[in-house]
Structure 1
Amino acid sequence: MRARTKARKRALDILFESEARGDDPLEVLRNRRETDDAPPVSDYAALLVQGVVEHRERIDQLLAEHAEGWTVARMPAVDRTLLRIGVFELLWVDEIDDPVAITEAVELARTLSTDDSPRFLNGVLGRIADIAEHLRATR
């Protein structure tokens, strides 16, 4: 598994855990960086967690607008978290190409979520990627 793929998985773990427990994701991140010995939390994983937290309101707004027939609250937790990471990468991480952000989210969904999740994530992230240039210009 490539380094950034591992970082995405680690960010997913931290964000998912914090949501499931009702904990502050930044506190969970800090605790993992200070106490976990394996797997380590890379700088990129930390960037993803911090970015999702910082932009969560806007990310969730975009998900609500582009996830046809789904509210953010009704989405499976893994899918919701992967979508948040994917949207953050699409709009705020300039060194990641849009197709890479989408593919990585879809591949993680393929191994960690339901059979329908990869298609769902691909559709939502694809719709957002179609307008990403406009969204980046207005952020």
Structure 2
Amino acid sequence: MARHRARQQALQMMFQWDVRRTPPEEIVGGYYGSLLISDDEEATPPRDEFAEELFRGVLADLAGIDERITRHAAHWKIGRMPVVDRNILRIAVYEILTTDTPAAVIIDEALELAKRFSSDDSAQFVNGVLDAVRREKVTSGIELKPD
């Protein structure tokens, strides 16, 4: 459940960045600041390192990730995709290419995010693109190395 929540937090941060183009540090600080429940530090949810890793990792190789998504999204340019869908794809592609988490788990999590925050049609689209990225990784052995 912690990884699911982290992916959701990363999606929310990516959405904010994509819409506002605010510097990443401001997005992260503002995101966790908005979760402040009270002035009591013990009641404030802790920062999630995995969510931040996903967010920062996507931004570090955004051009490469977007190029890969565009290559596998027939007749879709990244800028024409719904904001939620493209950011679900960005996070999942980054995770597929940089972690040891099984691709099937990452794809399933992306589909859950698409169903919750977008639409069933989006889930089908996300599934098709991510499956193509997964197949490409298997056949060519491509990876991104996180810093």
Judge same fold: TM > 0.5, yes or no. Answer: yes
The 5-angstrom pairing of residues 74-85 of structure 1 reads: 74-85=80-91
Shift of 1:42: 0.5
Deviation per residue, 1:49-70 (Å, 9 max, x gap):
0110111111001011000111
Residue 40 of structure 2 corresponds to none
Q: Is the 8 A contact 2:93 2:130 kept in 1?
A: yes
| Secondary structure, aligned partner of 2:142 | helix
After superposition, the CA RMSD in angstroms is 2.0
Deviation per residue, 1:79-100 (Å, 9 max, x gap):
0000000000100122x11101
Residue 133 of structure 2 corresponds to 128
What TM-score results when the alignment is normalised by the length of structure 1?
Answer: 0.89
Matched letter for residue 110 of structure 2: A
CA separation in 1, counterparts of 2:80 and 2:36? 34
Identity %: 36
| Secondary structure, aligned partner of 2:61 | helix
Q: Is the 8 A contact 1:10 1:41 kept in 2?
A: no
Residue 112 of structure 1 corresponds to 117
| Secondary structure, aligned partner of 1:126 | helix
**Unmatched tracts of structure 1, length 5 or more:** none
CA separation in 2, counterparts of 1:113 and 1:92? 25
Shift of 1:27: 2.8
Shift of 1:26: 3.7
| Secondary structure, aligned partner of 2:143 | helix
**Unmatched tracts of structure 2, length 5 or more:** 38-44
CA separation in 1, counterparts of 2:107 and 2:118? 15
Q: Is the 8 A contact 1:7 1:41 kept in 2?
A: no
Shift of 1:34: 6.0
The 3 A distance-change label for structure 1 pair 135 and 31 is same
84, 90, 98: which one pairs with 2:96? Answer: 90
The 3 A distance-change label for structure 1 pair 30 and 119 is same
Matched letter for residue 130 of structure 1: R
What TM-score results when the alignment is normalised by the length of structure 2?
Answer: 0.84
CA separation in 2, counterparts of 1:137 and 1:52? 10
Q: Is the 8 A contact 1:26 1:50 kept in 2?
A: no
CA separation in 1, counterparts of 2:64 and 2:89? 12
Specify the structure having the higher radius of gyration (Cα): 2
Matched letter for residue 116 of structure 1: D
